Structure 1
Amino acid sequence: MKVLITGATGMIGQAIVKVLHQKGIPVNYLTTSKDKIESTEDFQGFYWDPTKGEIDLKCFENVQAIINLAGASIAKRWTPQHKKKVLNSRTNSLQTLRKGLEQSSNKEVECMVSASAIGIYPDSISDYFEESTSKVDDGFLGEVVSKWEAEAETFEEIGVDVAKIRIGLVLAKDGGALPKMAMPVKNFVGAPIGSGEQWQSWIHIEDLAQMFAFAVENNLRGIYNGVAPNPVTNNKLTKELANTLEKPLWLPNVPAFFLKAILGEMSTLLLASQRVSSKKIEEEGFSFQYVNVCQALQNIYGPGKESVPASVKA
């Protein structure tokens, strides 16, 4: 088996490549930066530009599965221009990928596993969301994820099985939200956000990488939540992070109105509550290595691990 990955040089992509290589699976990857193209026996880069619909068709040679992670970061201020970029980067990437696959001579691709997000679920303190729920967030995130998943599903029309993994809060040491959360805690100014009662459905990056590999190896179809079995409130997550870093929490919660004033609509990333189930992927036979948030944080920041950086790039 050989896997083609979009977004392979990002945080999640690098973790997936590592897992695939550990399994002896070679990787082709697409990049918009010619400077990031490498060529080794098990890691071959190819150029593409989804904004122009350009793709090197050689990327599909001997490929049996595709993992799609492409998309502009959601964690930048939601100006009208950036919101358009967030949406278009996801749909254009999939359209370019599908057109390229159709134009190539490859008839071996059996499945595609595409990233998605739990942001499709509405904000709720009480609901417990499974993949079968018909409720969709009525804001920007709901719109983006709905269109993202719909574009991925078009690969079914050309005989490719499609799995969509709705990713939650990814806990990783060198990227994503966690270093930004850890920085104020380390500097004695950490505090829960808003009411602190909002649910945060998280997953350790190693489990997420294994999940994508599992979906490819088992040719999964449909929607799966990329979250660990035990969601926690923001209060709990902040407390466990402080305990792991051995730092006190003494400040009151950061008021929701303050975050809304500073971040505007983007504040939903911090304040929305989504308690999401991992039951479906577990029923497929997937086993999590990190089932509790304290266990995951200990792995990342516990004794013997490197200290948290004093500053983290935005």
Structure 2
Amino acid sequence: MKQVLFTGGTGLVGLRLTEWLLGKGYQVACLTRGSRSESQLHPDVKTYTWDIRKGELDETALEESHYLVHLAGAPVADKRWTPERRKEILESRVGTLDLITDRLTLRGLAFEAVISASGISYYGEDTGNELLTEEHPLGKGFLAEVSRQWEEAVDRIGGLGIRTVKLRTGLVLSREGGALPAFLTPVRWGVGSPLGTGKQYQSWIHLDDLCRMYADAIENPWSGAYNAVGPQPVTNEELIRTIAQVLRKPFWAPNVPVWALRLLLGERASLVAGGNRVDNQRIRKETGFQYLHTDLRPALEALLIDR
């Protein structure tokens, strides 16, 4: 039984992926900073302690694990991007992995593979209608720079001869968390309307498909960067309209203007006022991965309608 070690294993993706991997017969372990009782971890998950600020890490975790899934990262949408918050967003993604890389180097240890999260923010805040593949160059903006340094940290651990995978993740659809609940709230209040122009693209993926990608990347020879999105990006207007249709709520044509989003969210307005139309051809053509959720409306119905 091989062991998968998580960073950030108590988040939305980590908790669901843990269930998936346990069901496939893997042992799952997690690096944690606090009490297990506060983490919502599955009782079968092993825990090891670490403290990034102090540079502390239980090296037994590295000795006993075959794979690393790197999901650690402070949320980007819940607080304003003050200088302190920017530093936390970056270091929680980069510093965490660099600490592991340093310890592996000192001990002469290695994983069979490292599967790391990244973001389609790599391509920039708003790239319009251009269809983006993994070959598209780095974009501009704070989150693009975060993604660049994040992926460079993955490449450094890859320099130890470890197979590495970077999943540039889009908008994750899940009833438990992620971006979808924020879109749902105004629709449920009967005031759902497009954000900004409404023409910006939302490249989405169902949580279960994302978790299956991680599992597939562990078990098969994926390597490098992949756009972890579904096959059919939609505009923000299409997304909000479809949510309203599924919930049988009104859809309002007047858009929420960009200036109002900026007043409310500051720089974070780029998260909803901008967008990327991202192509998943590398996953489809090179890995043989089969999606469970390819169309937006059935995916939303599966999440939002009690059956």
For 1:103 and 1:217, the matched residues in 2 are separated by: 27
Q: 2:218 aligns with which of 216, 219, 238?
A: 216
For 2:43 and 2:134, the matched residues in 1 are separated by: 38
Corresponding residue for residue 97 of structure 2:
94
Deviation string, structure 1 residues 246-270 (Cα, Å, up to 9, x no partner): 1111351100111112212111000
SS at match of 2:132: coil
Q: 1:120 aligns with which of 108, 119, 122?
A: 122
Question: Offset at 1:90?
Answer: 1.0
Amino acid at match of 2:150: W
Q: Specify every segment of 5 or more residues in structure 1 that has no aligned partner in the other structure, as ranges.
A: 305-314
Alignment RMSD (CA, Å): 1.7
Q: Specify every segment of 5 or more residues in structure 2 that has no aligned partner in the other structure, as ranges.
A: none
Corresponding residue for residue 298 of structure 1:
301
Q: What TM-score, normalized to structure 2?
A: 0.94
Corresponding residue for residue 24 of structure 1:
25
For 1:254 and 1:40, the matched residues in 2 are separated by: 40
Q: Contact 2:15–2:41 at 8 Å: present in 1 too?
A: no
Q: Count matched residues.
A: 302
SS at match of 1:175: coil
* Residue 130 in structure 1 maps to residue 114 in structure 2: no
For 2:178 and 2:280, the matched residues in 1 are separated by: 21
SS at match of 1:66: strand
For 1:183 and 1:254, the matched residues in 2 are separated by: 14
Q: Contact 1:168–1:226 at 8 Å: present in 2 too?
A: yes
For 1:41 and 1:256, the matched residues in 2 are separated by: 45
Evaluate the alpha carbon distance shift between residue 39 and residue 19 of structure 1 in structure 2; reply closer, same or farther with a 3 A threshold. Answer: closer
For 1:139 and 1:115, the matched residues in 2 are separated by: 19
Corresponding residue for residue 287 of structure 1:
290
SS at match of 1:291: coil
Q: 1:183 aligns with which of 173, 176, 185?
A: 185
For 1:40 and 1:237, the matched residues in 2 are separated by: 33
Question: Offset at 1:113?
Answer: 0.6
Corresponding residue for residue 3 of structure 2:
2
Q: Contact 1:60–1:106 at 8 Å: present in 2 too?
A: yes
Deviation string, structure 1 residues 253-303 (Cα, Å, up to 9, x no partner): 100111112212111000112000111112211111000111110110024
Q: What TM-score, normalized to structure 1?
A: 0.92
Corresponding residue for residue 311 of structure 1:
none
Corresponding residue for residue 307 of structure 1:
none
SS at match of 2:166: strand
SS at match of 1:4: strand
Deviation string, structure 1 residues 208-258 (Cα, Å, up to 9, x no partner): 001011111113210001100000000100011011111111351100111
Q: Contact 1:196–1:234 at 8 Å: present in 2 too?
A: yes
Question: Offset at 1:132?
Answer: 1.0
